[in-house]
Every structure is written in C-alpha cells, then in structure tokens.
Amino acid sequence: MSRGFAIRTEGLGKRYVLGSQGTKHTSLRDALVDSARRALRFGRGSAPKRDFWALRDANIEIGHGENVGVIGLNGAGKSTLLKMLSRIVEPSAGVARIHGRVGALLEVGTGFSGELTGRENVFLYGAILGMRREEIARKFDAIVAFAGVEKFIDTPVKRYSSGMYVRLAFAVAAHLEPEILLLDEVLAVGDVAFQQKCMDFAKDLQRRDATILFVSHNMFSIKTMCERVIYLKQGRVEFDGSTDAGIARYEEDCRLGALWTPEGKDSWPIRVTDIAVMNEDGEPQNLFPHGSRMRLRLTYETSRELDNPNFIIAFIRSDGVAACNFTTESDGAAPGMVDGRGVLELLTPPLRLVSEAYTIQILVRAKGFQELLCNQIGSIFHTSHELYDLNFGVFHEAGEFTWRKATNEPQAAQGPAIRSIGAGSG
C-alpha cells in the first residue's frame, strides 16, 4: 500500500502561443536573430497567433511506491507533463506538488556536454540532478560499472553511440537514489541486457517505496513496469486506471484515427471507414505469432471518382521504425477506377517481424505515388516471439549456416561442408 502522495497535480496545464517567436534573449546572437526576423516581416504584417494547450486541466495523484505509465499518441502532452513535474517547464495553469527527491531522465544525454569526457559529464550531470560532488565521487565506480562504459569513460561523449549516452545518463540518474524517478522513452535505445538491468533497478526502487512515472510508446515495457496507466489524449487525461484497461482504451481510440491533414485541406477525397484485422482464416485476431499471416479488410468511401488510387498499408513499430509496407501499385493489384464505397482485402506473407507492437498506417496516393489522398491510422496489432524483440532488428528469418574444419589450405581447396544447419538443411 502506498503512503500519501508523491505527486499531485491540480488543474495543471501548459499553454503555448503558436506563431510567436517570444522576446526572451539569452545571448547577443538570439537578439540579432530576433531583430532580423522582425526586419524581414516589416511591411508584410505579422503572422496570426493562436493558443495551443499542450496539457490542460490535469488532475493526477500518484502515491509513494507506485509505478505509473503515461501513454498517448505523439503530441498528447506526455513529455510536457514530465517536464513540468521536473521543473524544466513552468506551468501556465494549476499547480504540481512533489513530495520526495526527484530524478529525471527526459531525453538522451540531457545535461551532457559533447566536448567533455564521460568522467567529466558524470560530475556535471550529477550536479545538475542535485548530487553533491562528494556523493558523486563515492558512487562514481558504481555508476560507470552500471553503464558498462569503463573503456570509454575518458573519451568525449560526442563520440559515444546513442546507447552509450543513455546508459551513462541513466546510471547517473539511478545512483541519485531518487524517491521519484521520471523516465521519458529513454530505454528504447538500450540493448537487451541493459534494459533488463533498468527493469531490475526500477523494481528495486519500488521495493524501497520509490515512485516511477514512465512515458513510453512500447506497450510491452508499460505492461512489464506499471500496474497503472494514465492515458493522455489531445492534452487531457482521458483515462487513469489499470494498465490493461488503459492500453485497450488507447488502442481502440487509435483505430481509424486521422494522422494529419495538410494545411488548407478540409477533407480527403477517400477515407477508410472500417478495418478488420484477422488471421489467415478470417477470424478476428490482434496477437500474431512469429511466421503467421494476417488478413486485413478495409472498407473505404470516396467523394469523387479516382483513377487507380494507390493504397499503401505500412506497419510502423512502436519506436517509429517503418517495418514494412504493401502497396496495390507495386504489388500488381491496381484497382482501376474507384468510386463510392468498396472493400479492399490484403493477405500478408508470413510475418517474420520481431516481437513488438505495430501501428497499421493507411495511405492512399494518386497513381504513381503522387498526390496524397488519404492518411489514417488503421489499428494496432502485436507480434510475439520467445526471443526476438526490437533489439534484434526489424525481422528474423532463419539463415543457413555451414560448418567445416579449418585447414591451412586456401579456402577454395578445403572441400565441401561437413554439415549444414539452418533454413533449407535436411
């Protein structure tokens, strides 16, 4: 049971003025750039300004010891919420009350300087997080070991990979021994072993009654770490409750949602009105074992006659990677003239995608991949594999391996393989 609250927000909101460049100058360069912009706009009138609420009227209470996931589409307000809780961004409305020592890891390498070495950045970032120099020095060896960057600790971090960056940053934040830990999509670049280390660390924090607020598009990570989710939609709290119910609500809301419409265009000439995600036999299914086939049935409606529209169905992984796509034009299934209502059905080849969550994105373009005629989210599905997840790439197809004894003779003279193992072997 949690004791009291660690985080409480009351009417919390953040408003931005779109079209405004602002007047705050942090350097002479900023002032000169702003002056140049004003000069270029002189005589042309100023651009219209409008309010945009990235987050609005958020009332949230999180107890000590809770692991809470924050989910939602891009632009829903997830990162804005964490930035306000970590005091990086000031709220435009409402208040946020925090009880406990906060550690935040909101972006890869936040607080790092590329020109400094890993060693120097550990002390810099630790100080930014509120650790004393003596405390950092005492924990330094443990931080470096946790991150696994011992060989590179005296190398400038601008030469680090994104994985090394996030491992070191997470290690520093972890050894702050926070009572409240804010994580924003930072585990996506870590390898399997490091992700497991982070998960174990998070569970240890929870056993010590710490609170974790975790933003991620990876629903498997959310399910693993969190017993509760907050689902944000267009800047508002749409759902706050159990993880399974929240994810189901989020995925249902994603179904047939619009992605974006170009400025000046009120509507598309074609839109998908229904989608059915099924197994090969035509039965509704959402989780596809590795190597199984998917059957998709799209119902569409046009507002005018279209000549050979090119339907594109793309599978987008939860980290934004475009895993694969199918197109009626490239795959030899041009529909001819299309008008009114119709149904398009796709049977995929065996799906060898790694275990993850995927969004079905539906685009329709004019013949020849030209003008965009429609752009929608279709639905979300999951794939399963006992081993391979996004850390192993996009797909896994069994390879054919050959074993032979090594000799001192040239490779061509070594003779046939003594045994073959893998795809195609007997």
Quick one: pLDDT at residue 418? 55
pTM (predicted TM-score): 0.68
Quick one: pLDDT at residue 284? 93
CATH topology of domain 270-392: Coagulation Factor XIII; Chain A, domain 1 (2.70.50)
Residue pair 231/71 in contact (Cβ under 8 Å)? The answer is: yes
Per-domain residue ranges for the chain? 5-17+44-254, 270-392, 400-426
Tokens linked to 374 = 């429609």
Pairing of strands 228-233, 67-71: parallel
| Percent share of the chain, pLDDT over 70 | 83
Quick one: pLDDT at residue 421? 56
The pLDDT confidence band at residue 127, using thresholds 50, 70 and 90, is confident
| Percent share of the chain, pLDDT over 90 | 44
CA distance 207 to 418: 54
**pLDDT tens digits for range 185-229:** 765 555 667 777 777 777 787 788 889 998 887 777 788 788 899
Instruction: Find, among 321, 184, 221, 208, the residue nearest to 169 by Cα.
Output: 184
Quick one: pLDDT at residue 356? 86
Residue pair 95/12 in contact (Cβ under 8 Å)? The answer is: yes
Residue 270, pLDDT above cutoff 90: yes
Provide CATH code, domain 5-17+44-254: 3.40.50.300
Q: Which residues pair with 422 in a beta bridge?
A: 400
Residue 17, pLDDT above cutoff 60: yes
Residue 316, pLDDT above cutoff 50: yes
Quick one: pLDDT at residue 25? 46
| Average predicted confidence (pLDDT) for the chain | 83
Tokens linked to 33 = 């750039």
Pairing of strands 211-215, 93-98: unpaired
Residue 294, pLDDT above cutoff 90: yes
Question: Quick check: do 5-17+44-254 and 270-392 share a fold?
Answer: no
CA distance 312 to 320: 17
Pairing of strands 50-63, 5-18: antiparallel
Average pLDDT over residues 21-44: 51
Tokens linked to 29 = 């360069």
Tokens linked to 258 = 């619009």
Tokens linked to 239 = 């759902």
Q: Is 291 exposed, middle or buried (0-12, 13-18, 19+ CB in 10 A)?
A: middle
**pLDDT tens digits for range 72-98:** 887 889 989 998 998 888 999 999 999
**pLDDT tens digits for range 391-422:** 788 999 989 999 988 887 766 655 555 555 55
Residue written as token pair 């998709």: 296
